[in-house]
Amino acid sequence: MSVISYYDQVAAAADFIRGQSNALPAIAVVLGSGLGDFASRLGNAASFSYQQIPHWPASTVVGHEGRLVIGDVNGRRIAALSGRAHFYEGHDLRTVTFATRVLGALGVKTLILTNAAGGVNTRFNPGSLMVIDDHINPMGSNPLIGPNEERFGPRFPDMTEVYSKRLRRVADEAGQAIGVTLEHGIYVAWHGPSYETPAEIRYLRMIGADAVGMSTVPEAIVARHMGVEVLGISCITNFAAGVLPQPLNHEEVLATAQRVRGQFATLLEVIITKV
């Protein structure tokens, strides 16, 4: 029995979505922990569980529904991913970034990556929204390791501007339009699933980190490999380890994300309108 290649798996998933959709998106949003409600705001929507889409990895983390919704936001056709696969679930990074590959294959030109993150910068309070200016990757791996598929992108893609300056300006304009001040900073992808130690947070602060999470960076790398423009936004859901004399827990992350979800959804809608 022949083994289907990774490229053909991506193509099969993209073909399935094309066959089920009357219009394809040029913009996609990946929704982080507790932020998936945005997908329910789309009009004229087609919705698929990840299990329906060939080769698409399941989303098993609490706060990640595991659903792709294609619909309209103020006349713009978008795809919203309510949930993502994570490295800490035991997937390799090709699996973690499978959805990003499919979005690129569908013709998505703009990808908005969102996440829930811990605040390393002590100026950031829980509930703050941070535009990602750049990232640091101490995950110990890279999604582009292995044979390069030239149909996806070049062997050595440039990462000088992973997060688009243009889209960061659009995000700031959108924030001003709705009266929300956005923070800016550097995001670190920690592979998890354990939260960082206070010593690790002190180290991350020393090397320039403002927020830390367990996603986003592999997706951003793969999107840029495919020539997709990227915007990253973190919802700061908690202070990182050692900032306060209390333990960290996922329930706090979800509770803070739920508290700001309306504001966050409005910001996304305005950004999408302006892109």
Of 46, 250, 252, 255, the catalytic one is 250
H/E segment holding residue 110 = strand 110-119
Of 6, 7, 21, 88, the catalytic one is 88
Structure tokens at 96: 């973690």
199 contact partners, CB below 8 Å, separation of at least 6: 242
Question: Is 174 a residue of the active site?
Answer: no
27 phi and psi angles, rounded to 5 deg: -125, 140
Q: Is 50 helix (H, G, I), strand (E, B) or coil?
A: helix
Of 85, 86, 189, 240, the catalytic one is 86
> CA separation (Å) from 35 to 4, 45, 46, 81, 112?
34, 18, 19, 10, 13
Residue position matching structure tokens 């990602």: 132
Question: Is 47 a residue of the active site?
Answer: no
Question: Is 250 a residue of the active site?
Answer: yes
Contact in structure between 87 and 218 (CB atoms under 8 Å) = yes
Residue position matching structure tokens 């640091």: 136
Question: Is 89 a residue of the active site?
Answer: yes
Contact in structure between 196 and 139 (CB atoms under 8 Å) = no
Of 33, 82, 128, 234, the catalytic one is 33
Question: Is 33 a residue of the active site?
Answer: yes
Torsion of CA 101, 98, 188, 150, to 10 degrees: -40
Of 89, 149, 161, 252, the catalytic one is 89
Q: Report the interhelical angle of 250-274 vs 165-178 (nearest 10°).
A: 100
Question: CA end-to-end span of the chain, whole Å?
Answer: 45
Of 39, 50, 64, 187, the catalytic one is 64
Question: Is 116 a residue of the active site?
Answer: yes
Of 215, 240, 241, 269, the catalytic one is 215
The whole-angstrom separation of Cα 85 and Cα 90 is: 9
Catalytic residues: 33, 64, 86, 88-89, 116, 214-215, 238, 250
